[in-house]
Structure 1
Amino acid sequence: MSSKIIGTGHYTPSHIVKNTFFQDSTFFDENEQPLKQSNEIITQKLKEITGIEERRYATHDQVASDLGFQAAQKAITNAQIDPETLDYIIFAHNFGDVKHGSIQSDMVPSLASRVKHLLKIKNNFCVAYDLLFGCPGWVEGVIQANAFIKAGLAKKCLIIGAETLSRVIDPHDRDSMIYADGAGAVIMESSDDDSGLKSHISASFTLNEIDYLYFGPSYFNQDSDTKYLKMKGRKIYEFALTNVSKAMKKCFDESGYDIKDLAKIIIHQANEKMDEAIVHRFYQLYNTPQPPDIMPMIIQKLGNNSVATIPTLLAMILQGELPQHKINKGDITLFASVGAGMNINAFVYKF
């Protein structure tokens, strides 16, 4: 028995925030000193490094569970299933529901329970729980759903990744321009055919890397008790370049496929230059040239919305929203992510 994806959906907020939005921002460094470069140069460098031209923010009346519900509904419709037949709802996020203008996170009840309620599911034995695993949370949810299905504990699972990072960023930190909001979801079910998840790997690097992504004070007012999402960008880049490509190779080798069989790499949309470097290093490990168009990117228009990047990208490809990229029946695809923890995971999937 294997597990396969039978439906996908994504919800992209309507509020577009272009790089010009930050022209009037006042940015500081970690020592509370104003950045010397102009905002025009800062935003231009952001685009050159990350590829980001614009991002999406949730509207003021939306929270992460609302975005997740929208993506879940679309995945259920796409799969053409009765939501009452779901055995698990796994909701990957990191900050819960944070209302606009609030500094408080709300995670009780769980966001998965809130989505189940919004879906009006009556089946009490549909288990709903949240998963906090950094940006790789959605991939980890797929791995867990696969385990439930293969163990005979579930036949159908809904896996959601949703986040509103715009609510937890420091407006005086230039890194805040990277983050965005969004949601993606898939339906997985048991299958006896040759498609589905073929291998997977997960790892947590916590000895020396625990604080590469963390919650810290604003760069403008460090005496405040309010904390924001912070990152050590250079350390993350070096860590990812070394460790993610190795994890991807280990996962792919365990699948039993030849590197020439690989059709697509769906990687967490963290930073365009970093993702390109990871995939380039991955192919170097095989001493083989990197094929063109192997790695689709949507960060340019959607930014980095954490757990939502991979399921959103997958849904957009499968539903024809990225005509330059296609996934066909039988295609071997490698999914990979890295994020706070520091956590890394990957899985190989045959469509």
Structure 2
Amino acid sequence: MITCLEFFSGIGGLHHALNVAGIDASVAKAFDMNEVANKVYQHTFGSAPSNKAIDRLTVKDIERYNADCWLLSPPCQPYTRGGKLQDSEDQRAKPLLHLITLLPKLSILPRYIFLENVKNFECSQSREALVNQLDSLDYYIQECLLSPTQFGIPNHRLRYYLIARRRDTPSDSEGYIERAIIHECWPFDGERIEFKTPSISAFLDLEETDAEQHLVPEKYLTKSNNFRFDITKPSGHQTSCFTKAYGSHHIQTSGSMLQTKNLEVSSYDWAHPESLLSLGLRYFTPTEVARLHAFPMPPWKNETTDTQEPSVNSITPRQYEAPHCTPHLKFPDDIKIIQKHRLLGNSLNCWVVAELYRCLMFID
């Protein structure tokens, strides 16, 4: 069994992805300072993450777990416009940089390292420090920018991923960063695969469609003249990226809204946003967002039932199927809807990560 450490664990997306991928692995310890996320993580997995600051972890703190694998999803703000693109000068980048400096001090290096972050990380100083350190320690590195839409999931969420495996023998080649390729197609090599993408209706809670608590407030719509909201219908096959601000008054850039009435209307009068009020626009529920992010969930009535035959080759890319492996993602009863949206907006797509685990990282 592979023993993992999960840094910046959030609600456990990287942990869930191990189960979705069917990897024989366990998470010895997770680390995060977000109290609400840690509460959800413990409620789901039954173990509480450490809230010790990651940039204060010592070699002794890490070596006590004898981990074969590091899973990392560090804060994205240092690499976004909203975070002012301060990169390594941002205090929120310090924990990752600290882990990078700790690596060569370990008596036994982890065999596997996986990192997820936003687009722009690939051109950051933090990424440069990371890949240079991994290269010097004889890791085989692969990098990519991929979205769930490329895997047959109707949600656009472009993210950077790094997959690193320790070489059995030292490599003669040097200077990885000068010859690095950031892959933007899935799979990386070989013939392109056209995955079937289910409609959005396959992810919906139909009984909640008209729930008052999920309707977009009228005041948020009518104040936004000439803004082209991302409106999608149950019959559609794509949603935009959900951010941590989803479900709040930040409706212009935080994710798609679902049209539940007058479904024959497809042409919208953006100059007169009051015309949108008859469309029954609502937010996707946290449960629906979690499904679109491919978190393991209990089976639901409306999900797609198409299944595929298991592949003889375990590293063959799979057609998306709703994952139901346990444990399921579970929120404690006292977590508010807006908190759920915030946590999910900060998380990742478990299916994408699971496929990268299966096909690229755990292939020894």
Q: TM-score, normalised by structure 1?
A: 0.29
Q: TM-score, normalised by structure 2?
A: 0.29
Higher strand share: 1
Higher relative contact order (CA 8 A, sep 6+): 1
Larger Rg: 1 or 2? Answer: 2
